[in-house]
Amino acid sequence: MELLLLSNSTVFGRKYLEHALEPISEILSGLKEVLFVPFALADHDRYTAEAAEALASLEVNVKGAHNGDPVDLAKNAEVIFVGGGNSFRLLKALHDTGLVRVIRDRVHGGVPYMGSSAGTNMACPTLRTTNDMPIVEPPTFGALNLVPFQINPHYVERNPDSTHMGETRSKRLEEFLEENDVPVVAVREGTWLRRSADHLTLGGSEAGGVLFRRGSSPEQLRQNADLSELLKVPAHFDLQEARY
Protein backbone atom coordinates (compact mmCIF):
# COMPACT_ATOMS: atom_id res chain seq x y z
CA MET A 1 0.00 0.00 0.00
CA GLU A 2 1.31 3.44 -0.98
CA LEU A 3 -0.21 6.48 0.75
CA LEU A 4 0.64 10.18 0.90
CA LEU A 5 -1.64 11.98 3.34
CA LEU A 6 -1.14 15.75 3.46
CA SER A 7 -2.35 17.87 6.34
CA ASN A 8 -3.06 20.70 3.90
CA SER A 9 -2.70 21.48 0.20
CA THR A 10 -1.54 25.09 0.50
CA VAL A 11 1.10 26.63 2.77
CA PHE A 12 1.05 30.38 3.35
CA GLY A 13 3.11 32.16 0.73
CA ARG A 14 3.32 29.19 -1.63
CA LYS A 15 1.18 27.86 -4.47
CA TYR A 16 -1.24 24.94 -4.28
CA LEU A 17 0.70 21.71 -3.48
CA GLU A 18 4.04 23.46 -4.01
CA HIS A 19 5.35 22.53 -0.55
CA ALA A 20 4.74 18.82 -1.17
CA LEU A 21 5.93 18.38 -4.76
CA GLU A 22 8.92 16.25 -3.71
CA PRO A 23 6.94 13.46 -1.98
CA ILE A 24 4.25 13.73 -4.66
CA SER A 25 6.85 13.21 -7.38
CA GLU A 26 8.11 10.14 -5.52
CA ILE A 27 4.68 8.54 -5.31
CA LEU A 28 3.96 9.42 -8.96
CA SER A 29 7.28 8.08 -10.24
CA GLY A 30 6.72 6.24 -13.52
CA LEU A 31 3.00 7.04 -13.64
CA LYS A 32 1.33 9.11 -16.35
CA GLU A 33 -2.23 9.85 -15.19
CA VAL A 34 -3.81 10.96 -11.92
CA LEU A 35 -7.49 10.53 -11.14
CA PHE A 36 -8.43 13.58 -9.11
CA VAL A 37 -11.50 13.34 -6.89
CA PRO A 38 -12.83 16.93 -6.51
CA PHE A 39 -16.05 16.23 -4.62
CA ALA A 40 -15.06 18.08 -1.43
CA LEU A 41 -15.65 21.39 -3.24
CA ALA A 42 -18.68 22.49 -5.25
CA ASP A 43 -16.88 23.58 -8.45
CA HIS A 44 -15.44 20.32 -9.71
CA ASP A 45 -14.09 21.68 -13.00
CA ARG A 46 -12.22 24.54 -11.39
CA TYR A 47 -10.80 22.34 -8.65
CA THR A 48 -9.57 19.73 -11.13
CA ALA A 49 -7.96 22.45 -13.24
CA GLU A 50 -6.14 23.74 -10.15
CA ALA A 51 -4.78 20.27 -9.41
CA ALA A 52 -3.72 19.82 -13.04
CA GLU A 53 -1.84 23.12 -12.99
CA ALA A 54 -0.09 22.23 -9.73
CA LEU A 55 1.09 18.86 -11.06
CA ALA A 56 1.99 20.05 -14.57
CA SER A 57 5.71 20.17 -13.78
CA LEU A 58 5.60 16.44 -12.99
CA GLU A 59 4.35 15.70 -16.52
CA VAL A 60 1.25 13.78 -15.50
CA ASN A 61 -2.23 14.07 -16.93
CA VAL A 62 -4.91 14.93 -14.35
CA LYS A 63 -8.45 13.71 -14.97
CA GLY A 64 -11.43 14.62 -12.81
CA ALA A 65 -13.54 11.82 -11.34
CA HIS A 66 -16.64 13.81 -12.38
CA ASN A 67 -15.72 13.59 -16.06
CA GLY A 68 -17.37 10.23 -16.67
CA ASP A 69 -18.48 7.34 -14.50
CA PRO A 70 -16.49 7.76 -11.25
CA VAL A 71 -16.46 4.03 -10.54
CA ASP A 72 -15.17 3.10 -14.00
CA LEU A 73 -12.55 5.82 -13.80
CA ALA A 74 -11.41 4.62 -10.37
CA LYS A 75 -11.25 1.02 -11.53
CA ASN A 76 -8.77 2.03 -14.23
CA ALA A 77 -6.81 4.71 -12.38
CA GLU A 78 -3.03 4.59 -12.03
CA VAL A 79 -3.14 6.78 -8.92
CA ILE A 80 -6.00 8.34 -6.99
CA PHE A 81 -5.77 11.82 -5.49
CA VAL A 82 -8.64 12.96 -3.24
CA GLY A 83 -8.61 16.71 -2.72
CA GLY A 84 -9.54 18.70 0.36
CA GLY A 85 -12.56 20.78 1.21
CA ASN A 86 -15.56 19.80 3.31
CA SER A 87 -15.17 16.27 4.65
CA PHE A 88 -18.90 15.66 5.08
CA ARG A 89 -19.65 16.64 1.49
CA LEU A 90 -16.75 14.51 0.28
CA LEU A 91 -17.71 11.39 2.21
CA LYS A 92 -21.33 11.67 1.11
CA ALA A 93 -20.22 11.90 -2.52
CA LEU A 94 -17.91 8.90 -2.15
CA HIS A 95 -20.78 6.82 -0.80
CA ASP A 96 -23.34 8.16 -3.29
CA THR A 97 -21.11 7.37 -6.26
CA GLY A 98 -20.02 3.96 -4.98
CA LEU A 99 -16.39 5.04 -4.77
CA VAL A 100 -15.73 3.99 -1.18
CA ARG A 101 -15.44 0.29 -1.90
CA VAL A 102 -13.76 0.76 -5.28
CA ILE A 103 -11.07 3.11 -3.97
CA ARG A 104 -10.46 0.91 -0.94
CA ASP A 105 -10.07 -2.19 -3.11
CA ARG A 106 -7.78 -0.46 -5.63
CA VAL A 107 -5.51 0.98 -2.95
CA HIS A 108 -5.27 -2.35 -1.13
CA GLY A 109 -4.38 -3.78 -4.52
CA GLY A 110 -1.40 -1.44 -4.88
CA VAL A 111 -2.76 1.72 -6.54
CA PRO A 112 -1.15 4.76 -4.83
CA TYR A 113 -3.48 7.07 -2.91
CA MET A 114 -2.89 10.75 -2.21
CA GLY A 115 -5.12 12.86 0.00
CA SER A 116 -5.01 16.39 1.31
CA SER A 117 -7.00 17.67 4.29
CA ALA A 118 -10.48 16.16 3.75
CA GLY A 119 -8.89 13.60 1.43
CA THR A 120 -6.60 12.65 4.29
CA ASN A 121 -9.59 12.30 6.61
CA MET A 122 -11.05 9.80 4.12
CA ALA A 123 -8.09 7.47 4.66
CA CYS A 124 -9.13 6.94 8.29
CA PRO A 125 -11.64 4.36 9.56
CA THR A 126 -14.20 7.12 10.21
CA LEU A 127 -14.92 10.80 9.71
CA ARG A 128 -15.04 11.50 13.43
CA THR A 129 -11.83 13.50 13.80
CA THR A 130 -12.53 16.00 11.02
CA ASN A 131 -12.63 19.73 11.79
CA ASP A 132 -15.46 20.45 9.34
CA MET A 133 -19.06 21.54 9.67
CA PRO A 134 -21.64 18.88 8.67
CA ILE A 135 -23.15 20.80 5.75
CA VAL A 136 -24.60 17.55 4.39
CA GLU A 137 -25.42 14.18 5.96
CA PRO A 138 -23.47 11.15 4.71
CA PRO A 139 -25.17 7.77 5.15
CA THR A 140 -22.43 6.70 7.56
CA PHE A 141 -19.26 8.09 9.10
CA GLY A 142 -17.38 5.04 7.82
CA ALA A 143 -14.57 6.09 5.48
CA LEU A 144 -11.91 4.28 3.42
CA ASN A 145 -10.07 2.63 6.34
CA LEU A 146 -6.68 2.71 4.63
CA VAL A 147 -4.99 3.19 8.01
CA PRO A 148 -6.30 1.74 11.30
CA PHE A 149 -5.96 5.00 13.26
CA GLN A 150 -7.47 8.48 13.04
CA ILE A 151 -5.87 11.66 11.68
CA ASN A 152 -6.58 15.28 12.54
CA PRO A 153 -5.31 17.59 9.76
CA HIS A 154 -4.58 21.31 10.23
CA TYR A 155 -3.80 20.73 13.89
CA VAL A 156 -3.18 23.88 15.93
CA GLU A 157 -2.69 24.43 19.63
CA ARG A 158 -4.51 27.05 21.65
CA ASN A 159 -2.93 30.49 21.52
CA PRO A 160 -2.10 31.31 25.17
CA ASP A 161 -2.77 35.01 24.45
CA SER A 162 -6.26 34.35 23.10
CA THR A 163 -9.31 35.28 25.17
CA HIS A 164 -11.48 32.75 23.32
CA MET A 165 -13.01 30.43 25.91
CA GLY A 166 -14.39 27.79 23.54
CA GLU A 167 -13.08 24.26 23.11
CA THR A 168 -9.55 23.81 21.83
CA ARG A 169 -8.64 21.24 19.20
CA SER A 170 -6.85 19.10 21.77
CA LYS A 171 -9.93 19.17 24.02
CA ARG A 172 -12.10 17.91 21.19
CA LEU A 173 -9.68 15.10 20.45
CA GLU A 174 -9.61 14.16 24.12
CA GLU A 175 -13.42 13.96 24.03
CA PHE A 176 -13.14 11.64 21.03
CA LEU A 177 -10.84 9.40 23.06
CA GLU A 178 -13.33 9.28 25.93
CA GLU A 179 -15.64 7.33 23.62
CA ASN A 180 -13.12 5.56 21.37
CA ASP A 181 -9.82 3.79 21.98
CA VAL A 182 -8.09 4.72 18.73
CA PRO A 183 -4.78 6.59 18.29
CA VAL A 184 -5.13 10.03 16.68
CA VAL A 185 -2.24 11.55 14.76
CA ALA A 186 -2.69 15.33 14.69
CA VAL A 187 -0.65 16.76 11.80
CA ARG A 188 0.32 20.42 11.73
CA GLU A 189 0.35 22.60 8.61
CA GLY A 190 2.97 21.65 6.04
CA THR A 191 3.32 18.07 7.24
CA TRP A 192 2.20 14.72 5.89
CA LEU A 193 2.07 11.01 6.59
CA ARG A 194 3.76 8.67 4.13
CA ARG A 195 2.91 4.98 4.14
CA SER A 196 4.80 2.44 2.07
CA ALA A 197 3.70 -1.14 2.81
CA ASP A 198 4.09 -1.56 6.59
CA HIS A 199 6.26 1.53 7.07
CA LEU A 200 4.73 4.84 8.18
CA THR A 201 6.58 8.12 8.70
CA LEU A 202 5.74 11.75 9.46
CA GLY A 203 7.30 14.07 6.90
CA GLY A 204 7.29 17.69 5.84
CA SER A 205 7.64 20.74 8.03
CA GLU A 206 9.66 20.71 11.23
CA ALA A 207 6.38 21.63 12.96
CA GLY A 208 5.73 17.88 13.23
CA GLY A 209 2.59 16.63 14.94
CA VAL A 210 1.04 15.29 18.10
CA LEU A 211 0.00 11.73 18.96
CA PHE A 212 -3.10 11.38 21.13
CA ARG A 213 -3.84 8.09 22.86
CA ARG A 214 -6.53 7.14 25.31
CA GLY A 215 -5.26 7.31 28.88
CA SER A 216 -1.96 8.99 27.94
CA SER A 217 -0.66 12.53 27.71
CA PRO A 218 -0.27 13.93 24.17
CA GLU A 219 3.09 13.03 22.64
CA GLN A 220 4.94 15.54 20.46
CA LEU A 221 6.07 14.02 17.16
CA ARG A 222 9.16 15.25 15.37
CA GLN A 223 9.83 15.44 11.66
CA ASN A 224 10.61 12.00 10.16
CA ALA A 225 9.17 10.18 13.17
CA ASP A 226 8.63 6.46 12.54
CA LEU A 227 4.98 5.69 13.29
CA SER A 228 4.87 2.19 11.82
CA GLU A 229 3.68 0.71 15.12
CA LEU A 230 0.34 2.50 14.64
CA LEU A 231 -0.41 0.23 11.70
CA LYS A 232 -0.63 -2.69 14.14
CA VAL A 233 -2.58 -1.10 17.00
CA PRO A 234 -6.19 -2.35 17.24
CA ALA A 235 -8.94 0.27 17.10
CA HIS A 236 -12.02 0.18 19.33
CA PHE A 237 -14.90 2.53 18.53
CA ASP A 238 -18.01 3.41 20.54
CA LEU A 239 -16.83 2.07 23.87
CA GLN A 240 -19.70 1.06 26.10
CA GLU A 241 -18.58 1.80 29.61
CA ALA A 242 -20.62 2.26 32.75
CA ARG A 243 -21.05 6.00 33.34
CA TYR A 244 -22.65 5.72 36.75
pLDDT digits (tens, 9 = 90+) for 176-198: 999 999 999 999 999 999 999 99
pLDDT at 157: 76
Spans of the chain, pLDDT less than 70:
158-166, 240-244
Question: Would you call 216 a catalytic residue per the annotation?
Answer: no
Residue 167: inside a domain: no
Query: Phi and psi of 81, rounded to 5°?
Result: -120, 115
pLDDT at 167: 77
Residue 95: inside a domain: yes
pLDDT digits (tens, 9 = 90+) for 202-231: 999 999 999 999 999 999 999 999 999 999
The model's pTM: 0.94
Contact in structure between 40 and 50 (CB atoms under 8 Å)? no
The residue from 154, 170, 181, 228 that is catalytic is 154
Helix axes 99-108, 87-96, angle to 10 degrees: 90
pLDDT at 159: 65
Residue 164: inside a domain: no
Residue 163: inside a domain: no
Question: Would you call 116 a catalytic residue per the annotation?
Answer: no
pLDDT at 163: 63
Residue 49: inside a domain: yes
Length of the chain: 244
pLDDT at 239: 85
Cα–Cα dist 110/99, whole Å: 16
Residue 126: inside a domain: yes
pLDDT at 165: 54
Cα–Cα dist 125/143, whole Å: 5
Residue 120: inside a domain: yes
| Number of independent structural domains in the chain | 1
Cα–Cα dist 236/163, whole Å: 36
C-alpha triplet 33, 62, 148: angle, nearest 5°: 75
Question: Would you call 199 a catalytic residue per the annotation?
Answer: no
Partners of residue 62 on adjacent β-strands: 34
Q: 3-state class of 211 per DSSP?
A: strand
| CATH code assigned at 92 | 3.40.50.880
Domain range for 46 is 2-148+190-206+222-231
Residue 169: inside a domain: no
